[in-house]
Amino acid sequence: MSNEATLHSQQEVMHGAAAHGHGHDDHEHHHEGGFISKYVFSMDHKTIAKQFLITGILWAIVGAFFSVLFRLQLGFPDTTFPWLESILGHWAKGGHISPEAYYALVTMHGTILVFFVLTAGLSGTFSNLLIPLQVGARDMASPFMNMLSYWFFFMASCVMMCSLFVQTGPASGGWTSYPPLSALGDASIGSKIGMDLWLTSMALFVVSQLLGGLNYISTILNMRTKGMSMTKMPLTIWSFFFTAVLGVLSFPVLLSGFILLLFDRHAGTSFYLSELFVAGKALSNEGGSAILYQHLFWFLGHPEVYIIILPAMGMVSEVMAVNARKPIFGYLAMVGSMFAIAILAFLVWAHHMFVTGLNPFLGAFFVLLTLLIAVPSAIKVFNWITTIWRGNIRFTPGMLFSIGFVSTFISGGLTGIWLGNSSIDIHLHDTYFVIAHFHIVMGVSAFLGLFAGVYHWFPKMFGRYLNNTLSYIHFWITLVGAYLIFWPMHYEGMAGMPRRYYDYSNWESFKQFGDLNHFISIVVIIVFAAQLLFVFNFFYSVFKGRKLTTTNPWNATTLEWTTPINPGHGNWPGEIPEVYRWPYDYSKDGVDFIPQTVPLSKDEEAAGGH
């Protein structure tokens, strides 16, 4: 569909809204219709973005709080905390977390942060907010499907939240839920109804992701404004596009894995079960393979880490160019490296399985592909550093978080080179080295990217600024704290300290890390407190923050800053602006910035556009 035709169809769609006066007056951005249609079952992509963000923030508090609880156990294995019993009840008798509760906390922490915060919270928020605004569309391709995408996520959240309150407790088979532990209800107390709720919640979550992803892809491909060719799209839009493609191709595989697991649990099948004994009694299941589940899980699980990190990469690229007052370095190389990451993401899943008895020849193939994925990542890092090199940098909170992202992405990514080698991985697999690696490169980096996005686009979302002082405190405690928590874990891992253990103090070989674990746990509590400071800053600023007085507070070139301060449903009151140039014309010909909507001069046309 040509851009002109798309534009025409968008204007037709909006004609009905215009007839009701929607969006024609800057101040009249209220929908007719009550609170429910405006804020609850809203089809406006900007409102849906806020719903994803606020739900994600609430989940992040829960997920992070769980990590504080299990770090208390790891850092202070011999201490009792009487207040724990009042929170956790019989899961913490006498103020001491029980082993069952510990595994449930670890499982829910991973599930919540990987899926509900860094997948739904990150992609759901910024893909929704920025895709229509930055490509010049009135809304998503299907606003109704977009609304459903949020409500499926919300239902998944409700089911997962319910699982925390059932008598036998939530799922506790690790965030990966490997069978046979997850396939047999009698295997552990966390394999009972909590596991069924976990699987149901995750199935609803996958539906949400598919509805969202299809919408993002079709909006980017079909609804760009006049002049917005693919090579004039900001890198944010490219990153959301590749993220959505990864999700649409990999999430259904996970869903099939979960459905087969539910069959094994309740329908007497043996997809993952074979020749098992429970409490000395032989089960009738035979012929299945627990390794099959690992293949299905990691076929999503590895693209998943890029589903989490790609949107952060795109946003960091955008924030860096805006705040360095320089064009992004190597635009096409950035797009190409994202494309390469998206393809390679599907070809490396078995590096999670080097210790499952995988054929060594196959292992070598996955080692090669795993190390190859470092190349596009290195190109991106080089381009980010070159973008800020000799730039006229403004250290806004968004910019600081972006620089922090590059720092953790480098330091966390380098340890991946060790883990990508199958022979070294045999020693390091399932130790704290793996925890340190993926928390820094995926957890911390993705959160820093998320925060960069929130600080940068908060004025667009709410028409107000966040408090700068609190933002800077939040940044420094988060970045320094993250390194103090996860850097020491590399040394524990190299010494062979296994992950997922409840108490290390009984081992002579790991006793030496008692003080270090103690230290890490204290830092975790401080960093958690800093995140609560951010949450306070966020909700306070939504209502009481300093108001925006200009439509373009950062002097950026992209389209979202051409809308009114509080855009109505439909984003632009009049015509959608036409695009003439790429999104990174900063410090060009003596001009600080040239928006995408400014026509090219004769000289620029002669030079070929840029």
Residue 493 has pLDDT above 50, yes or no: yes
Residue 601 lies inside a defined structural domain of this protein: no
Q: For a pLDDT cut of 90, what percent of the chain falls above it?
A: 83
Question: Is 418 within the bounds of a domain?
Answer: yes
Is residue 602 domain-resident? no
Do the beta carbons of residue 140 and residue 215 sit within 8 Å?
Answer: yes
pLDDT band at 336 (very low <50, low <70, confident <90, very high): very high
Written as six digits, the tokens of 537 are: 């800053």
Residue 30 lies in a domain: no
What pLDDT score was predicted for residue 588? 87
Lowest model confidence (mean pLDDT) among 280-289, 305-314, 324-333: 280-289
Specify the higher pLDDT residue, 152 or 26. Answer: 152
The answer to whether residue 496 scores a pLDDT higher than 80 is: yes
Please name the amino acid found at residue 388.
Answer: I
Query: What is the mean predicted confidence (pLDDT) over 195-222?
Result: 97
Could you tell me the CATH number of the domain that includes residue 416?
1.20.210.10
- Whether residue 459 is contained in a domain is answered as yes
Segment 590-603 shows an average pLDDT of 89
pLDDT in tens, 533-561: 999 999 999 999 999 999 999 999 999 99
> Using 50, 70 and 90 to split pLDDT, how confident is the model at 458?
very high
Give Cβ neighbours of residue 6 (< 8 Å, ≥ 6 apart). Answer: 222, 223, 224
Q: Which residue has the tokens 């606020």?
A: 54
| Residue 30 reports pLDDT greater than 90 | no
Cis peptide before 180 (omega within 30 of 0): yes
In total, the chain counts a number of residues equal to 610
Comparison of pLDDT for 36 and 599, the residue scoring more: 599
Find the mean pLDDT for residues 113-135: 96
> Would the pLDDT of 315 be above 50?
yes
Which pLDDT belongs to residue 606?
Answer: 80
Give the C-alpha separation, 405 to 270, whole Å. 44
For residue 13, what pLDDT band results from cuts at 50, 70 and 90? very low
* 469-483 average pLDDT score: 97
Q: Which of 225, 226, 110, 239 is nearest to 170 (CA)?
A: 110
CA distances 315 to 172, 203, 324, 532, 571, Å, are 34, 28, 14, 23, 21
Amino acid, res. 63: G
Distance CA 560, CA 456 (A): 12
Query: DSSP strand E in 14-93: where?
Result: none
Longest CA–CA span in the chain (Å) reads 84
Residue linked to tokens 């320089």: 326
Question: What is the full DSSP assignment across 488-548?
Answer: HHHHHHHTTPBSS-S--TT-HHHHTTHHHHHHHHHHHHHHHHHHHHHHHHHHHHHHHSPBP
Rounded Cα distance between 86 and 417, Å, is: 44
Beta strands 586-588 and 591-593, pairing class:
antiparallel
Residue 23: is its pLDDT beyond 80? no
By the 10 Å C-beta count (0-12 exposed, 13-18 middle, 19+ buried), 575 is classed as: exposed
pLDDT range class, residue 261, cuts 50, 70, 90: very high
> How many domains does the structure of the chain reveal?
1
Banded model confidence at residue 498, pLDDT cuts 50, 70, 90: very high
Q: Which of 312, 301, 324 is nearest to 409 (CA)?
A: 312
Residue type, 9: S
**Confidence at 11, pLDDT banded by 50, 70, 90:** very low
- Kindly report which listed range (5-9, 20-24, 349-353) carries the lowest average pLDDT score: 20-24
pLDDT of residue 544: 94
* Residue range 287-299, pLDDT digits in tens: 999 999 999 999 9
**pLDDT of 531 over the 90 cut:** yes
Residue 251 confidence (pLDDT) = 95
Contacts of residue 352, Cβ cutoff 8 Å, sequence gap at least 6: 294, 298, 301, 302
Q: Kindly state the tokens that stand for 339.
A: 């494309």
- State residue 609's pLDDT score: 63
Say how far apart CA 421 and CA 423 lie, in whole Å: 6
- DSSP lists the bridge partners of residue 593 as 586
Structure tokens, 298: 């990691």
pLDDT higher than threshold 70 for residue 271: yes
CA distance 297 to 564: 44
Q: How far apart are CA 100 and CA 422, in angstroms?
A: 32
Rounded to two decimals, the pTM is 0.92
Which is more confidently placed, 12 or 351? 351
What value, to the nearest 5°, has the Cα angle with vertex 311 and ends 530 and 197?
Answer: 75
The whole-number pLDDT of residue 263 equals 95
Let me know the angle formed at the C-alpha of 258 by 253 and 263, rounded to the nearest 5 degrees: 125
Q: In angstroms, rounded to a whole number, what is the distance separating the alpha carbons of residues 505 and 235? A: 48
In terms of residue numbers, what domain contains 432? 3-11+39-593
pLDDT higher than 50, residue 54: yes
Q: How far is 541 from 527, CA to CA, in rounded Å? A: 21
In this structure, is residue 21 part of a structural domain?
A: no
**CA–CA distance, 319 with 396 (Å, rounded to integer):** 10
Residue 15 has pLDDT above 90, yes or no: no
Both tokens assigned to 49: 């973005």
pLDDT for 21 equals 36
Q: Flag whether pLDDT at 484 surpasses 50.
A: yes
Tens digits of residue pLDDT in 144-168: 999 999 999 999 999 999 999 999 9
**The pLDDT of residue 341 is above 70:** yes
Q: pLDDT value at position 607?
A: 75
Mean pLDDT of 390-415: 96
Residue 26, pLDDT score: 38
Neighbours of 279 (CB within 10 A): 5
Q: Span 80-98, mean pLDDT?
A: 92
Predicted local confidence at residue 605, as pLDDT: 79
**Token reading at 379:** 């190109």
Mean pLDDT throughout 480-490? 97
On whether residue 281 sits in a domain, the answer given is yes
